[in-house]
Structure formats: structure tokens, C-alpha cells
Amino acid sequence: MSPSSPSRSGARGPSPLDDLAEAVGGTPLVRLRRLFPDLDGDSPRLELYAKLEQLNPGGSTKDRPALAMLEDALASGRLAPGGTVVESSSGNLGMALARACAAHGVRFLCVVDSRINAPTAATIRALGGELEQVTQPDPETGDLLTARVKRVQQLLEEIPGAVNLHQYGNPANPAAHRDGTMREIAEALDHRVDALYAAVSTTGTIGGCAAYVRDHDMTTRLVAVDAEGSVLFGGTAGTRRLPGMGAGFVTDLSRQVQPDEVVRVDELACTAGARLLARREGILAGASTGGIVAALARTLPSLPDGSRVAMIVHDGGSPYLSTVYDDEWVGQQLGADADALDRARQDLLAASRGAEAPGGAA
């Protein structure tokens, strides 16, 4: 391509950006044809599109709420350059905030727990963030997320003037997805989106998408994909090893959202789904996106012919190479050998065609 020719995608022209923040959002929406058999051929039964949020500068969908919440705190005067932000994160918000705080001269203290991916922790540090790692679950609830939030409260008391952006209840979190993620999906698809699949943690993503759908009189069916062991939307508390999806307490934001459907997925299904997406579409995504693929497989047969479906790819798979993409980790942590994993992948494909999943892993 010559220097003067437009980029192949045409998504962003060659003009320079004033600030890296301007590169947040505007992520590609890509048609998937190979993930499931129903998507392929001359007259595919369904259209499926993936919103590639891993192509944000921070590598995940969390760039949007991080920027929105930080800018909101700065604009309101609650936070000033030179101030301190203390936030709890499973990783992605931490990376996004570390970058945004560095760019605004704000000190950033990130409270994480032992489930954080090692490369994610290293990235937060490399961007100047300070890590506080919680290793023991909260004694009252047995939950690591609750332990993280309690540690945030302690730090806020210890550090004068420190500010917590409270991603679990901050309206700027869903607003970023209402005005960004869902607006972009809807505009790209002429406002005809029959179903949207998003994984949930704070529920900022799905809540913001729901707000856009409501404000624009769309009929999009909102499917929340949650982890087994998450207490969101009436779930029962249990062990969760994978970061990014689910919550150990009912978030303030989740009280304002009513998805049309909640699909719960276990860790083996997340792993099989992520591997299926990588092998069949060449999209290397994180565990929660694998969960979305598994949820899609299960629910695809119930979607009417001709449906146009969108799913969020919340983050990329590189930080998960030593977990969901590592056979040894999967064997040790999930008790699944290569054959079991292969069966789980086949089960997903069978489920997407409405066939009985012989291994029951779908």
C-alpha cells in the first residue's frame, strides 16, 4: 500500500491522534462464518458478528469505562493531576487505568487478587501502577472480590485524598458502553441486532448496552453470560479460577439491569469456547469470551432463522496462554486432558446444531 492510499479497513485514517485516549473505541466489528456450522454456506441460518474489544490500546473493553470514569473524576474536581486513584480490578480495568493514570499524572494503586494473570500484573507495573495483591478470601464470605473491596477501603482511609472510582456502581461505567460499545455495534448493523451476548462482572457492559437498546427502541435480546460460582442475577457462590467474569457480591450496577436471559458457564466450557474461537476464526480471546462462545453454542438453536447476533470479545488471549491455552494448566486445574478438551469442543459444535452433547460439557 502506498503511503497516500487509504488503510485497507478504512476504520481510522492516517491522521495523527492528539492523545492515545482517542484510540479507545471504534473497534472492528467482524462477521464470523466459521465458528459454528449454521453461520456458513450460501444461505447461512444466522449472522454472527464479533466486536473486537481486545484491539483497544489497553487490550480490553475496560479501556472505555476506565477512561470515562477517570475523565469524569477529573472534570468534577474530585480528582486532580498528582492525586491518587485506588481501585479493585481483576486485571483489565487495572491495565486500562494504569495507562490512563500515567497519561494524566495520577498515582494508581491497583488492588488485585491471586487469580490475576501474571502478564496482566506485569503490565500494570510497567505502566507505573502499584499492585496490592490480596491472597486470602474475605473470612466472612469466603470471597476474594469482597476481600479486594475491603482492602480498597483500608487504603482509602490510609492515603489522604485518595479517590476510588468504584467501577461496581459508577454510572460512567455503563455510560461508556451505552455511548460507545453498543452505539458502534448498532450503527454498524443499521440498528438491527436481534441478540447481543456479553459476559458480566460489574455488569457495566451489558447495562450500558441495555440502556442504548432501550433509548433507541431496539428489540435486541440481551444475553448475560455469567460464570458458575458467581452470585450475579441469582447465582450461587462458588469457586472461580478465571479472572474477568462473574462476581462474588451483587454489584450496585447489576441491580439496575435485567437481561433477557442469563447463561451460566463453567470453566471447562470457557476453555473449550476460547479454543474453538481461536482454531476456527483465528481470534485469540480471553476466558470470558470463551464463555460467550459456549453460551452461544447452547442457545443458537433457539434463535429464529435469519437472526443477526452480536457478541463482545472482551479481551485478547495472550495473557491466558499459561492458563486456558495451556494443556498442563487445564489438566491440573480443571482435570481435563487433551481428549476431554477435544470432546468439550465437539460438544459445543454439536450443541450449536441442537444435537445432544454426548460429553455433557457444552
Ligand X SMILES: Cc1ncc(COP(=O)(O)O)c(C=O)c1O
Kindly state whether residue 204 participates in binding ligand X, applying the rule CB under 6 A.
Answer: yes
Identity (one letter) of the amino acid at 288?
Answer: S
Min separation Cβ 201 and ligand X, Å: 4
Identity (one letter) of the amino acid at 53?
Answer: E
Over its C-alpha atoms, the chain yields an Rg (Å, rounded) of 20
**CB of 7 or CB of 114, closer to ligand X:** 114
Kindly state whether residue 244 participates in binding ligand X, applying the rule CB under 6 A.
Answer: yes
**CB of 83 or CB of 243, closer to ligand X:** 243
CB 166 within 8 A of CB 280: no
Q: Which of 66, 79, 127, 200 binds ligand X (CB under 6 A)?
A: 200
Residues 269-298 that bind ligand X (CB under 6 A): 286, 288
Min separation Cβ 358 and ligand X, Å: 29
Q: How many residues bind ligand X (CB under 6 A)?
A: 17
CB 224 within 8 A of CB 233: yes
**CB of 33 or CB of 241, closer to ligand X:** 241
**CB of 121 or CB of 349, closer to ligand X:** 121
Q: How many Cα neighbours within 13 Å face the side chain of 63? A: 24
Identity (one letter) of the amino acid at 355?
Answer: A
Kindly state whether residue 203 participates in binding ligand X, applying the rule CB under 6 A.
Answer: yes
Q: What is the x/- site pattern for ligand X, positions 40-69, by CB under 6 A?
A: --------------------xxx-------
Min separation Cβ 90 and ligand X, Å: 7
Residue written as grid cell 502499584 = 130
Identity (one letter) of the amino acid at 123?
Answer: T
Min separation Cβ 251 and ligand X, Å: 8
Residues 63-102 that bind ligand X (CB under 6 A): 92
86 in helix, strand or coil?
Answer: strand
Q: Burial, 124: exposed, middle or buried (Cβ in 10 Å; 0-12, 13-18, 19+)?
A: buried
| Element containing residue 68 per DSSP (H, E) | helix 63-76
Catalytic, out of 48, 56, 59, 62: 62
Kindly state whether residue 202 participates in binding ligand X, applying the rule CB under 6 A.
Answer: yes
Does 150 participate in catalysis according to the annotation?
no
| Closest to 225 in 3D by CA, of 203, 193, 248, 194 | 203
CB 169 within 8 A of CB 65: no
Q: Write out the catalytic residue numbers.
A: 62
Residues that bind ligand X (CB under 6 A): 60-62, 92, 199-205, 244-245, 286, 288, 314-315
